[in-house]
A and B are shown apart, each in its own frame.
Chain A
Amino acid sequence: MRTLVIEPEYEAWRAAARQLLAQGVSPEEVLWTDDRQEASLFVGEAPPDTTAVPGDSAIKVSAAFMDLARSVAAHTDARRWGMLYRVLWRLTRGAERHLLAMATDRDVRQLQDWSKAVGRDIHKMHAFVRFRLVGTDAATGREQFVAWFEPEHRIVRLATPFFEKRFAGMDWSILTPYECAHWDGTRLHFTAGVSRSSAPDEDALDDLWRTYYRNIFNPARVKISAMQSEMPKKYWKNLPEASLIAGLIAESTGRVQGMLETEERAAKPAPNNAYLKSLHAMNQREAAAPNQESDPA
């Protein structure tokens, strides 16, 4: 039995897995872990020698598996490295080349579940990051924004290329508890995680945004469970608009009651407007001859 400590990222796993595979080490012989503390409890072997990898070129797996592995690697479940290696082993040494087509396979299903959770986390980061304006760079004139986000998985590097494409024209930092991303117009780079207090709490536009949120809500069709399934409460503390939710729900019944009690209004006659007159004339012609092609001219 050998114990491998994987610095929690995909490249480290890939290098180790390639080595083990080349040496014919079966999945049962390896214990993978994220955690150095835990690893020290086992009698570790020396890390694999990376200088000579016999038969390296013979290892071929599909791009689909590499994509899956990259995504699964960002998950926080400690079992992911072992599971990835087991599936890699089955795909190659186990001669189950079709394995990824088997969504009914336990191992594949598990990897897909993890990948899906990571994908959802990335998607929610794209949705729920809220940038706050902190200043303007005196030299470049570029606006500078900072956001705070708490992802569930280690997704900062997977999620940030999206922000680079979308917000190329402004400087921004996204701070998270385990890793931060920064863009200055030319380079995306990463630094260690920080605490919540490093990020601003508010933006001058938050009030206007809440005004929008309050007014786009339709009190006549309250569906709270639909809202919460897509925007779970765990995100609310970092969303400026979420403070309105309870009040909007509480008022909705009264607001609808008010609409129902409003006296109905009679139709007003058409104002004196040339366009409206021409429209009405056109409609009358069409009503008289409904089968003819309409002529808007």
Chain B
Amino acid sequence: MMDITRKLEILADAAKYDASCASSGAARKDSRGSAGVGSTGGMGICHSYTPDGRCVSLMKVLMTNACLYDCHYCINRRSSNVTRARFTPDEVVQLTLDFYKRNYIEGLFLSSGIIRSADHTMELVIEVARKLREVHQFRGYIHLKTIPEASQELIALAGRYADRISINVELPSQQSLNTLAPEKNLARTEEAMGHIRGKIDERHAEKRKPDAPKPPPFATGQSTQMLVGADASTDAVILGCADKLYTSHRLRRVYYSAFSPIPEPSSILPLKAPPLIREHRLYQADWLLRFYDFKVEEIASAADPNLDLALDPKLSWALRNRATFPVDVNKAPRELLLRIPGLGVRNVERILGARRYTRLRLADLVRLRLQMKKLLPFITAADHHPAKLGLDSDSLRARFLPPPEQLEINFDAPPKPATSDFLSVRSGEL
């Protein structure tokens, strides 16, 4: 009989390749007036960070890492020789409560290898959530991974207990799935996402009617994850898939996870360096789609389907579309301000607020702590008109490139984006 420490080792290790850790966007609830603990509804909180730069927000574990499927990017596939373990529902419940009460975590992210059948696996996962909510009055965050082939009744039940549910797309085309994840099917995944969206919408719509009976509770959002670098999909294909999921199924988030070396590699998918910069650029592009009104074709077109690894996608777009610039920060509409490299959503709002009362000069922009070097060629201000020559010049791109040695992709010392890049990924500021 394996002890709880050994199980946690195996089942946390098995869960680490899921990038999602969001604990925001839940309905507001808290423990006041109950004998339990837990609250959600505010900003998500990252309770720790590991040296891979990822936050620890939810306790992310698998129910079991035994799995019938054979997804070749996955350490838990049936062909892997990894040690298998299995939690009982009570063990996960106890760990969640113990960790939560010590303020180590925001809640639970529970997924599982698929054993016996999709429905059987979902039942195990749901049982944990049910006990937490109904037996222990747990009001913290619960994210449940669901299986597209599970029955709709079970997905509805999962959504009843969870704040967020998700199904991973993993790869953006069925062709790639056929080779690397032969049990998975993109059409069925999207169909299940469509049902989930229907349930989320239903709940929101009925909430607006004052006299209607209260709809059954359901998760407030769904998300997914795509692996980057395991197959040959271009960034245009990946972003196209993400955009489709955002628009047709209204996903809260699409996570991009660079395929990184795993123990127990498969002969069908040789290990290589994780494309971390590419992952980072995809997140930036994703932000441009969601918050900056960019279209996929503007960022990654059929003719030029991959993001420039050396420059952020907004700057890259600006350099390809120089005729749009310079933009007058005192007059341009919001949508044009959002296109200026180095200007994030928050600072666009600040500029719009301030310019109602004053003509903005460079000193004003400096006080907003904008990245002036990046900004200057692309804007005009009351006391600044960039040299037209500068904007046309071929040297403009070179000016923004990082020093050449950082471009080498060296597995022993992966290139590191600047700290400001990481911060911008989190805040959504570009």
Contacts and interface: CB of A to CB of B under 8 A. Distances in A.
Contact of A127 (B47, B101, B365): B47
A168 B99 contact: no
Contacts, number: 257
24 contacts: A102-B358, A103-B368, A123-B43, A128-B48, A131-B101, A162-B39, A169-B34, A203-B102, A209-B104, A211-B8, A211-B9, A213-B50, A221-B276, A221-B414, A226-B419, A259-B261, A260-B261, A262-B265, A264-B270, A265-B79, A266-B79, A274-B117, A279-B149, A280-B182
B209 interface: no
Main secondary structure of the interface of B (DSSP, over half): loop
B183 interface: yes
Given A101-B356, A265-B81, A267-B268, A287 B178 contact: yes
Given A266-B267, A275-B116, A275-B118, A227 B103 contact: no
Interface residues of B, number: 97
Nearest to A220: B260
B119 to A, nearest CB: 8
Contact of A166 (B30, B79, B137): B30
A195 B225 CA distance: 46
A256 interface: yes
Interface of B: 4-5, 8-10, 12-13, 15-17, 30-39, 42-43, 45-56, 59-60, 68, 70, 72, 78-81, 95, 98-99, 101-104, 116-118, 137, 140, 148-149, 174, 178, 182-183, 185, 187-188, 191, 258, 260-268, 270-271, 274, 276, 350, 353-354, 356-358, 360, 364-365, 367-368, 412, 414, 416, 419, 422-423, 426
Given A220-B274, A294-B191, A286 B185 contact: yes
Contacts of B101: 131, 133, 143, 145, 167, 170
Contact of B267 (A132, A264, A280): A264
Contacts of B368: 103-104, 109
A276 interface: yes
Given A123-B43, A229-B423, A279-B183, A209 B102 contact: yes
Interface residues of A, number: 86
Contacts of A241: 48
A273 B67 CA distance: 12
Given A101-B356, A127-B47, A259-B261, A212 B31 contact: no
A129 B103 contact: yes
A98 interface: yes
